Amino acid sequence: MSVFIKTVDSVDLSRVLREAQVELSPKEARIIDHCHNLSFTTWVGYNDGTLVCAWGIIPPTVLSDEVYLWLHTTQAISTSQFLFVRHSQLFVKGLLKQYKAITGHVKVGARHSQRWLKWLGAEFGPPKKGLLSFRIEDHG
């Protein structure tokens, strides 16, 4: 297996996902493009040439010591879960050297995503409008 991660610049991320044959509803495409446009940096991850995920970080302000993390995975992630978790751990470790905390939201019913976030050290807030807020800090 070969993992390839690259940054995505000024293109619509939804187009990149559609070109990789990821099905998106119009609402999902708008949300992904909005997150991409707000992101300081956006990355896409491939495993053996297949797109498995896209993610980005959105600092609330230029001087913020926290960052908002968003992630979209494809069905192909199921074939590379171990690699994905390991690369995620390294990515989060690097972010926590730059920021005090990583925050975000996950759908209440997204059990796989919640498990992944727990592996990364996330603590969850109470459910609100179908979402759980999460926070990851370096406690070491």
Tokens of 131: 């979402």
Q: What local confidence, expressed as pLDDT, does residue 140 receive?
A: 63
Helix or strand run (H / E) with residue 92:
helix 81-98
CB 73 within 8 A of CB 50: no
> Tell me, what's the pLDDT at 109?
86
Sign of the dihedral defined by the CA atoms of residues 36, 113, 103, 52, in that order: negative
- pLDDT value of residue 4: 63
Output the pLDDT for position 102: 95
47, 64 in Cβ contact below 8 A?
no
Fold assignment, 3-137: Aminopeptidase (3.40.630)
Q: What is the mean pLDDT of each run of 10 residues along the chain (140 residues)?
A: 65 78 85 88 84 86 88 76 81 93 91 84 94 89
**How far apart are alpha carbons 36 and 136 in whole angstroms?**
21
The predicted pLDDT at position 3 comes to 61
- Strand, coil or helix: 32: helix
Domain boundaries, the chain: 3-137
Give pLDDT, residue 21.
80
Cβ within 8 Å of residue 40, ≥6 positions away: 56, 57, 58, 59, 67
How many CB atoms are closer than 10 A to CB 53? Answer: 20
pTM of the shown model: 0.81
pLDDT for res 80 = 67
